[in-house]
Amino acid sequence: MAPNERTASSPVPGQRVIPTGTVTEYYRRDWWRSTTAIDDLLIQADARPDTPAVVSYRSGHPEPDRHTFAELELLTRRVAAALINLGIGVGDVVSVQLPNTWQFPALVYGILRAGAVVNPLVPIFRNRELDFILRRTESRALIVPDVFRGHDHASMAADLIESIEGLEHAFVLRTGPVGSDVALPSGTRDLAQILDHPWEQRAGLDQELASRAPGPDDLVQIQFTSGTTGEPKGVLHSYNTIHSGGRCIDEIYGLTADDVCFMASTLAHQTGFGYGMMKPLGMGMTVVYQDQWDAEQLLDAIETEGVTWTVSATAFAMDMIAAQRRRPRDLDSFTYFICGGAPIPPKVVEEAAEVLGAQLIAVWGMTENMVVTTTRVGDPVELVSDSDGTVVDWMEIRIIDDTGRPVEVGQSGDLEVRGPSQALGYFFRDDLYAAASPDGDWFATGDVARLRPDGGIRIVGRTKDLIIRGGENIPVAEVEDLLLRHPSVVEVAVVGLPDDRLGERACAVITAANHAPSLADLTTHLHEAGMAKQFWPERLHVLAEMPRTPSGKIQKFKLREQLLSPDPTK
């Protein structure tokens, strides 16, 4: 069944069926609810119309763009009406690849109000990734910037709309000076045609939006995340699973509508989507964005905008500490830095308190389930730096050994989770979800965790072949596949090595035929193949032969040990 033939309540390919009794329990315990994120935004627009909703900083612009909740609501209505006018139907997929700007939430909520499903795309994706994702989702429309970080997204969109049947619309956000008359590529249109035209004056719009309004258990997004299978996985989330995943913000950390959120992670990541947009805006908070990460600018914004909290990776906290030391600001408002994606060194926890005046809170979660474990406000430095926290009240975890039995305190095993924020499946890949959840209940995360005496966990490794660089998942299998196509590469294994700032960096270990290629040769090869730069290996090591198991599999743990030894040639 094609997406445009679905109703909002129809399951999509790959969506799992949750037992009726489990659903009933989630509702009974108020872990799920009968309203949606759209309802939240409308309530806030009515209750606090003149309160700033989005403050959006753009590179090269001295002043940010500001939109109140009333203005944001009008924009979402305008976007919804424009999409309806284009023929976007209930259940259709609309793909958005934009940096963190005010247009992102305006578009996302507008897409949802039209009854469609959002497919957020991280800005680093290039032709290769987008071609796969847009075909898989049968996306009807694509929205991109013209140029971002030197990449011509507009031309990429033009190529994609020409080659992908069913992709009918490509809109481009102009990021240059107002009034820029640079012609857009053939097949693309200016996003201003949507945002600057009063489509909300469409006759009968209120009734149309009411008829298209999704329910709380309907799909809100298809979020693609890099895995180890050689292709991105489309994680399915409903309004209720995202609502459940966001409950930690007010229920655990005690944040309120009077707080101000800053989001460094891209809004196209689950972190940004949930904790930088849906949760804070739904609570009536002001959110502050940057289109490009700039620690100096952020610290200025904390001082001027009264930012109180953020969620991001350890590397961002380290950048902020360094910038504050170079030029101190008044950061009295800044209270919490919620940190995930990499271990937090004790020194960073201490320096965050000393230099930024903020408490670091360690969390663990995945695109598939959002925050599952967290340290608590007031936890000591040693706990934050040596723990990924204890489980939130509405989720469950277990750590099991190879036989499926729970491990003892101090022992490590495979981490599994279940609960109301767990994703609904993988789009068109129910086989992959079934492999991670054979009983249809517990979900194998692919992480190895140690059970702490306090009931919390510490992530000690991963069973999945995955590298996390600065919070960004590197699709190891796909990188290896492309490197093997280089004429001089005989064998390849990409492994993660510890990095103080980014958590991990990728190292390509190869055996070569005749003349071994340089790292520059390999990255040029990946560039020509259309792979995002953030996925490229940053180190190269050439071996005469790979360490192997008796069955012939490459032993990556031995490669890591070897590369971390004083003499990696031995």
Tens-place pLDDT, residues 211-266 = 999 999 999 999 998 643 457 899 999 999 999 999 999 999 999 999 999 999 99
Does 293-372 match 30-176+183-257+267-280 at the fold level?
Answer: yes
Q: What pLDDT was estimated at residue 65?
A: 97
Query: Rounded to whole angstroms, how far apart are CA atoms 367 and 277?
Result: 15
pLDDT at 71 exceeding the cut of 80 = yes
Domain layout of the chain by residue ranges: 30-176+183-257+267-280, 293-372, 387-463, 467-564
| Structure letter (DSSP) for residue 450 | E
Q: Is residue 440 within 8 Å of 479, Cβ to Cβ?
A: no
User: Which listed CATH number (3.30.930.10, 3.40.50.980, 3.90.1170.50, 3.30.70.20) goes with 293-372?
Assistant: 3.40.50.980
Domain 30-176+183-257+267-280 grouped into CATH 3.40.50.980? yes
The DSSP line for 100-155 is: SSTHHHHHHHHHHHTT-EEEE--TT--HHHHHHHHHHHT-SEEEEESEETTEEHHH
Q: How confident is the model at residue 3 (pLDDT cuts 50, 70, 90)?
A: very low
- Backbone Cα Rg of the chain: 23
CATH class of 387-463: mainly beta
Do the Cβ atoms of 375 and 384 come closer than 8 Å? yes
> Phi and psi dihedrals of 490, rounded to 5?
-95, -50
pLDDT in tens, 151-187: 999 999 999 999 999 999 999 999 876 545 679 999 9
Helix (H, G, I), strand (E, B) or coil at 309: strand
Percentage of the residues of the chain whose pLDDT score is greater than 90: 74
Q: Which residue(s) pair with 400 in the sheet? A: 406, 414
Per-residue confidence (pLDDT) for residue 6, from 0 to 100: 44
Q: Which residues contact 120 (CB under 8 A, 6 or more apart)?
A: 95, 96, 97, 108, 221, 223, 267, 268, 269, 273
Closest CA to 112 of 77, 87, 136: 77
Taking alpha carbons only, the member of 153, 210, 267 closest to residue 8 is 210
Rounded distance between C-alpha atoms, residue 262 and residue 408, angstroms: 39
- As a whole number of angstroms, the distance between CA 272 and CA 40 comes to 18
Q: Is the dihedral of CA 349, 536, 458, 388 positive or negative?
A: positive
DSSP state of 534: G
Taking the whole predicted model, whether its pTM rises above 0.75 is answered as yes
At 551, list the tokens: 């069955």
pLDDT digits (tens, 9 = 90+) for 25-59: 999 999 999 999 999 999 999 999 999 999 999 99
In this predicted structure, the answer to whether residue 550 has a pLDDT above a threshold of 80 is: no
Cα 235 → chain centroid: 11
Does domain 467-564 fall into CATH 3.30.565.10?
A: no
Place 552 in a pLDDT band, splitting at 50, 70 and 90: low
Contact 295, 319 (CB under 8 A): yes
Which whole number is the average pLDDT over 484-490? 89
Q: What's the whole-number mean pLDDT along residues 338-355?
A: 87
